[in-house]
Every structure is written in structure tokens, then in C-alpha cells.
Amino acid sequence: MTAATHAPPDRTGPAALADPLLHLTRYNAGNALRGLAEVTGTTSRLWLEAVTGSTRPAALAARGLTWWSTVLDRRPPTWHLPHEIVFSTRFAHLRDFTRPADAGDAVVPTLVLPPQAGHSSTVVDFSPQQSQLAVLRDAGLTRLLVLDWRPATRATRHVTITDYLDVIDRAVRLVGGGVNLVGNCQGGWLAAVYTALHPERVNTLTLAGAPIDFHAGESVIAASTRAVTGAFGLAPYRALVAAGGGNMPGRAVLANFVGIQPQAEISRQLQLLENITDVAHVERYRVFEDWFKHTQDIPGAFYLWLVEELFSGNRLIHGELVVDGRRADLADITCPLFLLAGDTDHITPPAQLFAAADAVGTPAAQVTRRTARGGHLGLFMGRDALRQDWPVLMEAVRAHSGPGPGRRGRTRPVDGAGPRLPAP
């Protein structure tokens, strides 16, 4: 199967800038109005309660102080499932979540690539009740590893796409040379690139909320990036990276996410205010805010590469992406492919992900498309997706991962693979 081809849009002149900017302006204006309406409604209700005596002023003040201290009390996110660090590089840890009792299981190892978008990789083990890793393990994928992307520093600002692909390859070789790859969002397009370059090392490929055709569907991020690069090239992005000391600041990425849906931020804070005495609600708020607001920087060289090659150039879907002299052709992917999109995902619309189905060389009968209810983050840690969608997909992956003809991954190490390393 050949890669899908599309005529590239005209990115020159004011006409190229008009449509994306108009769409972005309308979208943000609508979100701002919805957020303002919600603020007005909740504020009016609380004021009415105070005036009518249904809530005493002193109690209202105490509620406000508790709310404010909760908003400000942020802690680093943590991993929840037991594991060990197998190896570390300057920009990644390989974490092994295989239980000792499962270490000898005759099942293809599964390697999870979390998003790399200014937040901690712990989103795949979000909480004891909402853990994508636990769902994978319960589905029978008992040999389970994760590449944990570390915050960028001045020493790692020059880390490139080659470094990311090399650390994936090191992990794959270490566990025997064949894996099930599971990639979330940015981890998904990274998994697709790796699989296109090393198809013989990937048993199955699962992509969730991952942009493959970056220009498909209605995406505010894609539209704004095309508008900015069409008018100014990479200059604005280089300026952001320079301001971050050579890295893309995680706080800038967070500001962009909040700006896309300001009403979601406002709603979350107002719901906390209204439920500040509800212990369960406050705990759910803490867990999410600790992950969402604890940002980490992205290596500048890597970030600028992905803006130019993928968000702007959209070269992966066109079969034009070249890494270190090798073309990453999606048509070279022939393993079973599992695609999970969110029906209201405004970050990666389903069309951006499902474009992979027509671009890969996998037989149509071995391509599974599934649409979950909810948005982008809900795909990775939402209760509905973890209960209804991931178990179905991962049980299908497991069916391809045991001994027998359904298994593609190799059980013996490829050249260069070594024994498991001890934790540092």
C-alpha cells in the first residue's frame, strides 16, 4: 500500500494566513465568551447566597481562603505502580513495570511512549484508579516498559529526533529486539516514525490521539502553526526557544493549551470553589492540577524540528520525512495497527490519526479504528476510555503477542542487544 498523497496548501501571501487566523480568532472568542458566562453565573450565585444568608459571610470567606490555598498548593506528579529504572540517559529513563512473577512470561514486551508536550510522562500512570499501564498489564501485556521523557536542561537543549529514535531502539534491543509499541499523542507519531524505519522490530503498533496527518481535520494548534509559519517562518518559535535558554519552555506550552480552551480552566477552578468541602472532589482536582500545572521544558532542537518537519511541513503523511538520510515511509509499516481517537478531541482530531490507516502497508483487515467518547487527555487517563476502549484494544494486541503464528516480535536479541542492565 502506498502512502497517501495530498497537494500541499499554498502558504504564501495573506490569503494563506486569513483562513487559519479567522478560525483561531472565532474559536478563542467563543471559548472566552463561554468562560465569562460561567464565571458570571457562579459568582452571582455565591453572592446571592451570601446576601440572602444561605451562606454566612464568614463561611464564604473561609471557603475562599481554602480554595485559594488549594489552587496554590502544587506538588510534582508521581508514578504509582511499582517499577524499576533499567537505564537512564540525559533526556529519558527506561522504566520497567514488569512484576517479578511475570518476568518469564512468553509474551512480546510492550513499550509505551508517553506524550512529550511539556508535561510529565506520568499521565500513563495518572493515579491508582486511572492508570493506562494497569489496564495494559491486566490485558495480559505483563512485560511492560515505559520511556519516561525527562525535563530538558541546558545540557540537553541540542537533543534531536535522532537521539529520541536511538533511545527507543536501545530499549527495544535491550528487551530482545521485538516489541508492541504504544504511542500517545507526540509519542504516537514518534512510534510511527520508529516503526517505519524499523518495521521488523515492531510486533504491533497502537496509536492514541497521535497526529499523523498534521493538516487534517479541525485543529486549532495545526491551524495556528500553519498561519504563523506561513507568515513568519520559524522565527517566532526560534524566539521562544531562545527565551527558554535553548529549550521550549513548558510553561509556554501550558499557556497555549489553556488559551485554546480557557473555559475549561475557568470551569475547573469554579467547580473547586463550589465543591471545596467535598474531599473526593478536592483530591481529584489535586491529582489533575499537579500533573497539568507541573510543566517541563522540551529540548529546543527537537521542538524546532517537529514544528518545521511535521506541524508545518506535514512530511510524514506525504512520505517525505527523512531522518539521517533515511526516508520514514509509512507504507513500510505492515504490523497490526490499532488506532484510538477521541470524538471531541480538539488537539488531535480523529482525521489526523485515522489518516494512518490509508498510509501504512498493513492489510486493511489488520487495522482497527476505535473512537472513544471524550477529548484529548481523556484518551490517556479518562475513566471511560480506560474502562471501555483500552481493554478491548489491548486484549487484541495480546492475541498477537503470545507464542505461535500470530507473533511477529523476535524472542532472541538482535545484533547489539545486551543483557538487562541493573537499576542505577
CA 306-310-312 angle, 5° bins? 100
* Tally of CB atoms within 10 A around 306: 20
Residue 272 lies in a domain: yes
CA–CA distance, 182 with 204 (Å, rounded to integer): 8
Quick one: pLDDT at residue 333? 98
CA–CA distance, 356 with 358 (Å, rounded to integer): 6
Cβ within 8 Å of residue 58, ≥6 positions away = none
Displacement of CA 376 from its chain's centroid (Å): 8
- CA-closest candidate to residue 182, choices 401, 375, 365: 401
CA–CA distance, 378 with 341 (Å, rounded to integer): 10
Residue 60 lies in a domain: no
Residue 179 lies in a domain: yes
Q: Are the C-beta atoms of 134 and 75 separated by less than 8 Å?
A: no
What percent of the chain is helix, strand and coil (3-state, nearest 5)?
Answer: 50, 15, 35
Burial class (CB in 10 A: 0-12, 13-18, 19+), 74: middle
CATH number of the domain that residue 315 is part of: 3.40.50.1820
Quick one: pLDDT at residue 324? 94
Q: Are the C-beta atoms of 290 and 331 separated by less than 8 Å?
A: no
* Tally of CB atoms within 10 A around 40: 10
DSSP summary character for residue 127 = B
- Point out the residues of the chain with pLDDT beneath 70: 1-57, 59-60, 404-424
Domains of the chain: total: 1
Residue 55 lies in a domain: no
Residue 421 lies in a domain: no
CA–CA distance, 63 with 261 (Å, rounded to integer): 26
Name the residue range of residue 33's domain: 9-48+85-400
Pairing, β 298-299 against β 247-248: antiparallel
**pLDDT tens-digit readout, 65-99:** 888 888 888 889 999 999 999 999 999 999 999 99
Q: At what angle do helices 57-72 and 13-52 cross, to 10 degrees?
A: 140
Cβ within 8 Å of residue 198, ≥6 positions away = 169, 172
Residue 57 lies in a domain: no
* Tally of CB atoms within 10 A around 54: 8
Phi and psi, residue 341, nearest 5°? -120, 160
Residue 62 lies in a domain: no
Q: At what angle do helices 161-174 and 186-197 cross, to 10 degrees?
A: 70
* Tally of CB atoms within 10 A around 63: 16
Phi and psi, residue 33, nearest 5°? -65, -40
CA–CA distance, 90 with 172 (Å, rounded to integer): 18
Cβ within 8 Å of residue 284, ≥6 positions away = none
- CA-closest candidate to residue 194, choices 206, 202, 185: 202
Quick one: pLDDT at residue 87? 97
Residue 405 lies in a domain: no
Quick one: pLDDT at residue 61? 76
Which ranges of 53-160 does DSSP label H, i.e. alpha helix?
57-72, 132-138
